[in-house]
Structure 1
Amino acid sequence: MTERVKKLRSRSFWELRPEPSSFASSNKWSNKDMDPVPMHQRSWTMWDYTSYWLSDGFNVPTWNMASSMLAVGLSWRQALPAIAIGHFIIALAVTANGTIGARLHIPFPVINRSSFGYWFSYFSVVSRVVLAMFWFAIQTYTGSEAVYQMLKAIFPSIARIPNALPASSNITTVGIMCYFLYWLIQLPFLLVSPHKIRYLFIAKAILAPTTGLAMMIWAFVRTGGGPIFEQKATLSGSALSWAMLSAMNSAIGNYATLSVNIPDFTRYARSPRDQYVQVLVIPVIFTFFAFMGIAVTSAGNVIYGEILWDPLTLIDRWDNRAAAFFASFAFCLATIGTNVSANSISAANDFTALLPR
């Protein structure tokens, strides 16, 4: 036991040993992580990419996307086509960039050198790292809200824990506790190798959409759709045209960063053709999940008398504690999957390029 403690306290125990590259003699230029993916690790199929986007599409920001479009004066009949067109455009970029990774089996930082050169490629890589870190923090906070709803469903008294933090901190004692707990829940998934993490996406692709469908069925059974489906556009002429363009731009921006570094995932494709399915599944999945958000929000407006765009705020109003727990668990898992796919792996690949070891 004493020997183990000594090892843990030694610096050498925590140091990462350099893994030599197959193509460069110096660790300064490359390492094993940036090599082409070995044949035995090229395991992602068409169904894995479908489950990847099913898992990535079901999250709180997608659920809320249509709300911003309705708020500027579009009807739901105009918001959904804007979401579909925007995501079809981004799907073209994802598939085009993904083809490079699927054929050469190399990550984004290596591909980036062919466009910017070795030294200037660091600028775009650092830019992607910064974006990933910001979004990682945002999604982690969203996940902490799901953890709060899970704990509240089990222990209702958690809502009455006094806040010991000042108002200027913009977070409560319970909030920081749930943030820490979510970090602990999320941490093991961050340690899984990218070519194996597809099993998380498969699990999320089954659980998360099932939860969304259950919530949508509940919405239609309780209200028949609600007043949002009867809402008409409040804009016309050029104002309507600009609003539609703005809505499409919002949809495009949702995954613009991931479309750049999608080779980090398509490099694991079994065949270059397997990733082509993305051009179809991305617009279909995101449009359907946005429709779920509109339907459930509409039901909440009828039942509770106010528009609750955040699904976790809606869950907070439920009296059925079991339903609240399982729905919150689905959103917690959904956020983990999104954080791993869109932020963690992306930043990790970029860091290996910046500081290869």
Structure 2
Amino acid sequence: MGFKEFHDKYLVVEGGESEDGFLVNDDIRPLALKDRKWNSLTYFTFWFSATATVSNWYSASTGQALGLSMWESLACSFGGQCLIAIIITLNGRAGATYHIGFPVLCRTAFGVYGAWWPAFNRAVMAIVWNGVNSVQGGQCIYVMLHAIFPGMARIKNTMGSGSALTTGGMIGFVIFWVVMCFFLVVPVPKMRGLIYAKVIVFFVCAIAMLAWTVTKAGGLGPVVHQGSTVHGSERSWLIFRFIMLGAANCATFASNAADFQRYATKNTDVILGNLAGFPIANFIVAIFGNLVCASGQVIFGKVVWNPITLLDDLLVMDYTSKTRAGAFFIALCFAYSCIFSAIFENSLPAGNDIAALFPKYVTVRRGFFICAVLTVAINPWYLLGSAVIFVRFLSSYQIFLSTIAGILLVQYYLISRGYIIIPDCYTSSKSGVYYYWHGFNLRAFAAYFIGIAPNFYGFLNNMGVKAPIGLTRFYYVAYWVGLFLSAFVFWGSCKIWPPAHVETTWKEPRDYVRPEEDISAIEASSVEVMPGSGDLEKRIVTSKTESV
């Protein structure tokens, strides 16, 4: 077999052999009717599953690690997540209506080629977060092994002081990574049962760990009455910081909301889950995280913000058969939760993004495994060495994602008014409305860089560059500055320099169905696209009969 035959048979994916194979394959087209299986209950449960993670447990209790009381930490987390739930709902509507993922949605604003940049940004963040979840999973596996084999604690550590994993923890990381890769072969639309199971598993182990630590701490009284260790203006700024961080922590969900909302049976299915399910689910997880963290402070006399580290400390303190069994069971449940957190929150968006970057050769499934390999390459165990490092990580990349979200919101709600010309998202033809200038929308890139500019010094400060205290505190609102500034600049530039596709009235269809599918399966009126004007009207009529 020659290279061309091998290339065409094994490397090029289905749908990638067309002239525009570098823009389309079957995975990144609008989702087929048969794969739109997530309803309102699924999405409400999804958020309980998505937020039921060790990462959220971490972020909820880091406020205590830096001096806030348990109640202050809880209030900050909940306030920030109520704010970001609104952005998630608004930015995901296009995905729920047209059943396209974040990378394709970006083409409407950034251009068919320009969208590669925001997709790359989001892919990087997804890979980093996948590494964080994998490290947590590795820590869980280590505790399980430690509960069975006492000698695990005596393995010489060669990882260095900056690593969240010891040599024993690295053994756990490798095992976790291999197991996670096995689960990546399950088709995403068929994962509803795993979503439900993850919720049950996580909360069973969370309740068990809470009961265990509170009992050892002597009841809830000593736990809930601990106050702040910081006071005055320092305390006020810390509260403000963690409210904003509660929102910034979810910047990835806000930017790529279309990736998981595209599976909705109809676009209203996601509203209840986003506006109610997301903050409530986060709040419940935060309660567990903060109570356990506060209990650990009573037991050990110090704040242990990582629940897996706390679990291992309990094991070391009382290495009896009951303690070993309890630690093993809780760590097993946490490990299961970490696997599906990694898949739903990181592998899925990374797969979508990487597939959109290289659609001729990469399906979403192949993107999953590319993400898995890169997860190891970035050495993520250095991100979780301390609460301070983790907080810096949480707040650092937000400035890049917030500007993207602001631009997408303006494009969908103010420029295209809910109407996306789907065929033009997948063509390199100069007549396509999303071709802009050589495939790049310069308006979007101008808004992107202007939105980043005011926050960039704060970003450098977050990475270790010294800056005045005023700039440090300004960076607390970096997400919202980037979101609104980029949105305003993009809207203004489109007013001054109108793009090819601008609508003046709201024209969102009830749903979008692939033209080649049998639309008799649903009400004809639900897929009727509102007519446009002139050439656009002809294009709309054509899009009902031609394949993307």
- Same fold? TM cut 0.5: yes
> What's the counterpart of residue 352 of structure 1?
355
Q: Residue type of the partner of 2:329?
A: F
> What's the counterpart of residue 130 of structure 2?
136
More helix as a share of residues: 1
Instruction: Name the CA distance, whole Å, in 2 between partners of 1:114 and 1:216.
Output: 47
CA drift at 1:13: 11
CA drift at 1:93: 1.1
Which residue of the other structure, out of 258, 263, 272, is the alignment partner of 2:253?
Answer: 258
> What's the counterpart of residue 295 of structure 1?
291
> What's the counterpart of residue 306 of structure 2?
310
Percent identity between matched residues is: 33
Q: Residue type of the partner of 2:43?
A: Y
> What's the counterpart of residue 147 of structure 1?
141
- Confirm or deny: 8 A CA contact 2:61 2:290 kept in the other structure: yes
CA drift at 1:84: 0.9
CA drift at 1:237: 5.5
Instruction: Name the CA distance, whole Å, in 2 between partners of 1:214 and 1:304.
Output: 19
Which residue of the other structure, out of 63, 77, 81, is the alignment partner of 2:75?
Answer: 81
From the superposition, tell whether residues 155 and 301 of structure 1 become closer, same or farther in structure 2 (CA, over 3 Å). Answer: same
> What's the counterpart of residue 96 of structure 1?
90
- Confirm or deny: 8 A CA contact 1:109 1:349 kept in the other structure: yes
Q: Relative to structure 2, which stretch is displaced further, 225-234 or 261-270?
A: 225-234
CA drift at 1:168: 7.8
Instruction: Name the CA distance, whole Å, in 2 between partners of 1:215 and 1:276.
Output: 32
CA drift at 1:94: 1.1
Q: Residue type of the partner of 2:283?
A: T
Instruction: Name the CA distance, whole Å, in 1 between partners of 2:335 and 2:309.
Output: 14
- Confirm or deny: 8 A CA contact 2:39 2:269 kept in the other structure: yes
Q: After the TM superposition, which residues 69-218 of structure 1 pair with which residues of structure 2 at under 5 Å, given as runs? A: 69-163=63-157, 165=158, 167=160, 170=163, 172-218=166-212
CA drift at 1:57: 1.4
Q: CA deviation digits over 1:169-201, x for unaligned, max 9?
A: 945432332221111111022222221223222
CA drift at 1:25: 5.4
Instruction: Name the CA distance, whole Å, in 1 between partners of 2:41 and 2:171.
Output: 37
From the superposition, tell whether residues 237 and 14 of structure 1 become closer, same or farther in structure 2 (CA, over 3 Å). Answer: farther
Which residue of the other structure, out of 328, 333, 345, is the alignment partner of 2:331?
Answer: 328
Q: Relative to structure 2, which stretch is displaced further, 12-21 or 193-202?
A: 12-21
Q: Residue type of the partner of 1:217?
A: A
What are structure 1's unaligned runs of at least 5 residues?
A: 1-5
What is the SS of the residue equivalent to 2:189? coil
Instruction: Name the CA distance, whole Å, in 2 between partners of 1:94 and 1:189.
Output: 27
> What's the counterpart of residue 37 of structure 1?
31
Q: Relative to structure 2, which stretch is displaced further, 210-219 or 103-112?
A: 210-219
What are structure 2's unaligned runs of at least 5 residues?
A: 361-548
From the superposition, tell whether residues 114 and 48 of structure 1 become closer, same or farther in structure 2 (CA, over 3 Å). Answer: same
Instruction: Name the CA distance, whole Å, in 2 between partners of 1:169 and 1:295.
Output: 27
- Confirm or deny: 8 A CA contact 1:129 1:347 kept in the other structure: yes
Q: Residue type of the partner of 2:196?
A: I
- Confirm or deny: 8 A CA contact 2:55 2:133 kept in the other structure: no
Q: Residue type of the partner of 1:267?
A: R
> What's the counterpart of residue 66 of structure 1?
60
> What's the counterpart of residue 247 of structure 1?
242
Q: CA deviation digits over 1:310-339, x for unaligned, max 9?
A: 111121123411111110011111111111
Q: Residue type of the partner of 2:300?
A: Y
From the superposition, tell whether residues 70 and 302 of structure 1 become closer, same or farther in structure 2 (CA, over 3 Å). Answer: closer
Q: Residue type of the partner of 1:55?
A: S
> What's the counterpart of residue 13 of structure 2?
18
> What's the counterpart of residue 437 of structure 2?
none
> What's the counterpart of residue 41 of structure 2?
47
Point out the structure with max Rg over C-alpha: 2
CA drift at 1:294: 1.7
What is the SS of the residue equivalent to 1:195? helix
CA drift at 1:240: 3.9
CA drift at 1:109: 0.7
Instruction: Name the CA distance, whole Å, in 2 between partners of 1:119 and 1:227.
Output: 58
Q: Relative to structure 2, which stretch is displaced further, 75-84 or 261-270?
A: 75-84
Q: CA deviation digits over 1:277-303, x for unaligned, max 9?
A: 221011111112111112122222333
Q: Relative to structure 2, which stretch is displaced further, 245-254 or 54-63?
A: 54-63
Q: CA deviation digits over 1:108-167, x for unaligned, max 9?
A: 11111111111221111111111111221222111111010111112222223345x464
- Confirm or deny: 8 A CA contact 1:56 1:334 kept in the other structure: no
- Confirm or deny: 8 A CA contact 2:70 2:291 kept in the other structure: no
Q: Residue type of the partner of 2:171?
A: M
CA drift at 1:51: 2.4
Q: CA RMSD of the aligned region, Å? A: 2.6
The count of corresponding residues between Structure 1 and Structure 2 is 347
Instruction: Name the CA distance, whole Å, in 1 between partners of 2:207 and 2:20.
Output: 52
> What's the counterpart of residue 486 of structure 2?
none
Q: Residue type of the partner of 2:276?
A: L
- Confirm or deny: 8 A CA contact 2:62 2:305 kept in the other structure: no
CA drift at 1:245: 1.8
TM-score (normalised: structure 2)? 0.59
Instruction: Name the CA distance, whole Å, in 2 between partners of 1:162 and 1:245.
Output: 42
TM-score (normalised: structure 1)? 0.89
Instruction: Name the CA distance, whole Å, in 2 between partners of 1:236 and 1:302.
Output: 21
Q: Residue type of the partner of 1:326?
A: F
- Confirm or deny: 8 A CA contact 1:21 1:35 kept in the other structure: no
What is the SS of the residue equivalent to 2:220? coil
CA drift at 1:21: 7.2
From the superposition, tell whether residues 120 and 326 of structure 1 become closer, same or farther in structure 2 (CA, over 3 Å). Answer: same
Instruction: Name the CA distance, whole Å, in 2 between partners of 1:166 and 1:235.
Output: 33
Asked if 1:268 is matched to 2:260, the reply is no
Higher relative contact order (CA closer than 8 Å, sequence separation 6+)? 1
What is the SS of the residue equivalent to 1:323? helix
From the superposition, tell whether residues 12 and 178 of structure 1 become closer, same or farther in structure 2 (CA, over 3 Å). Answer: farther
